[in-house]
Structure 1
Amino acid sequence: MDTTIKIVLADDEELFRRGIAFMLQRESNMEIIFEAPNGQELVSFLRESTIHPDVIIMDLKMPQLNGVEATKVIQNEFANIKIIALSSYETSSFIANMVHIGASSYLVKNSTPEEMILTINEVYNKGFYYNEQVMKIINEVEVVADQKSKGLFENDCLTVREKEVLQLICKQLSTKEIGERLFISARTVDGHRNNLLLKTESKNVAGLVVYAIQNKIVNQEDLIL
């Protein structure tokens, strides 16, 4: 039986939000479990509900609590939920900031339906999805501004195997695919991923990708987009 991706939509434009909901509900593996007109209602739902989404599609400009602040709260309280930032803003500063605070992907509102569906599936299955535009910004902008000043873990602290796992994560391979490629179990892959998160002080898999690019563990052209 196919896995259903549970989705929450957060956008204050009701017509736009309902249009996305209608489109996604037509996908056999996707279910909209809640719609929020602002970040405050979104956070309240997550705190009160026993059912949590796998993915949140988050508008950045919302009343009461905007998408940026809501993302920070959710990353602190519900770290397993993946957030796809959705905005009409395409500037490097907006994109870099959302990546920095833990967004697993970034979509502009003029994206095609096919791009949105692809992004949701990739984020659910692999933990992140950054298109060519976002990858370029990650490569050029110092997303993690305080990384060098922390100096807690240098690249040399990562083992050879951890670097191999990190490189394959960046190529968007699944846990199973990484295990098959390196001839190790899925549990061992998960262990390496957890160690990477700890050593790099990353919030999620998306953060690992940023770390790997900015520390030259992978090159942008080596990534499968």
Structure 2
Amino acid sequence: MDNHIKIVLVDDEILFRKGVFFLLDREKNIEIIAEASNGVELVTFLNENENHPDIVIMDLKMPLLNGVEATKILHKEYPQIKIIALTSYDSSSFIANMINVGAVSYLVKNSTPQELLKTINEVAVKGFYYNEKVLKVIQQTISSSKNSKSALNNNYLTNREIEVLQLICEQKTTAEIGEKLFISPRTVEGHRNNLLLKTESKNSAGLVVYAIQNEIAVIV
């Protein structure tokens, strides 16, 4: 892929962070613009610099300000920045919590370099990327708390919006959705924006959660 992706690495384990840095630094389309050892350093960097990343790769357990709290701040103050959680915690509760506060992808630290690179590139193109494990956790979390189901009547969505939403859940790009439905990419973005407004979702990742909650899309 030839799209340029700016990244900030946030992890208090210096050796691990440097390892990820050297892995990503070899990629022609990826630029590491900063590193931070905790959420405070990350927020300070963003506040003091105009050169913001497209993606932040975020650890969870860090001193001063952990990854969950830092994600909440970024989701509110810098919503255009995509957050990929990269952590040693593999439990469903951690995954569900990070997705809930705004992470658009979740990886454990024993993932392969190929998995990390794929996740970064998918997030850069589509705005989010859920692997099979994360999708199952979302489904399990929703099915175990029936009261989380949205009160929004699905009739509020048009047939075309539902078609677009289902294809978003299949993690199709805007161009792929347009090609499938014989509409322009600009029209796809219009439908996506309408879906965000109607479902009160903040990003495409939230749309996937909404679709599973309301049984518009079933992930197998």
TM class by shorter-chain length? over 0.9
Displacement after TM superposition at 1:91 (Å): 0.8
Residue identity opposite 2:136 in structure 1: K
CA distance in 2 between counterparts of 1:209 and 1:219 reads 10
Q: Secondary structure at the match of 1:106?
A: strand
Displacement after TM superposition at 1:45 (Å): 1.0
Deviations 1:167-210 (Å, cap 9, x if unpaired)? 11111111111111111111111111111111111121111111
TM score, norm. by length of structure 2: 0.95
CA distance in 1 between counterparts of 2:52 and 2:144 reads 28
Q: Secondary structure at the match of 1:141?
A: helix
CA distance in 1 between counterparts of 2:90 and 2:142 reads 17
- Give the conservation status (yes or no) of the 8 Å contact 1:39–1:65: yes
CA distance in 2 between counterparts of 1:130 and 1:156 reads 27
CA distance in 2 between counterparts of 1:143 and 1:137 reads 10
- Identify the residue that residue 111 of structure 1 maps to in structure 2: 111
- Give the conservation status (yes or no) of the 8 Å contact 1:138–1:214: no
CA distance in 2 between counterparts of 1:33 and 1:55 reads 10
- Identify the residue that residue 203 of structure 1 maps to in structure 2: 202
1:40 aligns with 2:37: no
In angstroms, what is the RMSD of aligned CA positions? Answer: 1.7
- Identify the residue that residue 28 of structure 1 maps to in structure 2: 28
- Identify the residue that residue 138 of structure 1 maps to in structure 2: 138
TM score, norm. by length of structure 1: 0.93
CA distance in 1 between counterparts of 2:22 and 2:153 reads 47
- Give the conservation status (yes or no) of the 8 Å contact 1:7–1:53: yes
Q: Which has the higher contact order (CA 8 A, sep 6+)?
A: 1
CA distance in 1 between counterparts of 2:125 and 2:23 reads 20
CA distance in 2 between counterparts of 1:112 and 1:7 reads 18
Map 1:154-193 → 2, pairs under 5 A: 154-193=153-192
CA distance in 2 between counterparts of 1:128 and 1:76 reads 17
Displacement after TM superposition at 1:103 (Å): 0.8
CA distance in 2 between counterparts of 1:61 and 1:143 reads 28
Displacement after TM superposition at 1:143 (Å): 8.9
1:10 aligns with 2:45: no
Runs of 4+ in 1 over 2 A off after TM superposition: 142-148
Unaligned runs of 5+ in 1: none
Residue identity opposite 1:128 in structure 2: F
Map 1:32-111 → 2, pairs under 5 A: 32-111=32-111
Unaligned runs of 5+ in 2: none
- Give the conservation status (yes or no) of the 8 Å contact 1:99–1:143: no
CA distance in 2 between counterparts of 1:68 and 1:7 reads 18
Displacement after TM superposition at 1:154 (Å): 2.1
Aligned residues, how many? 219
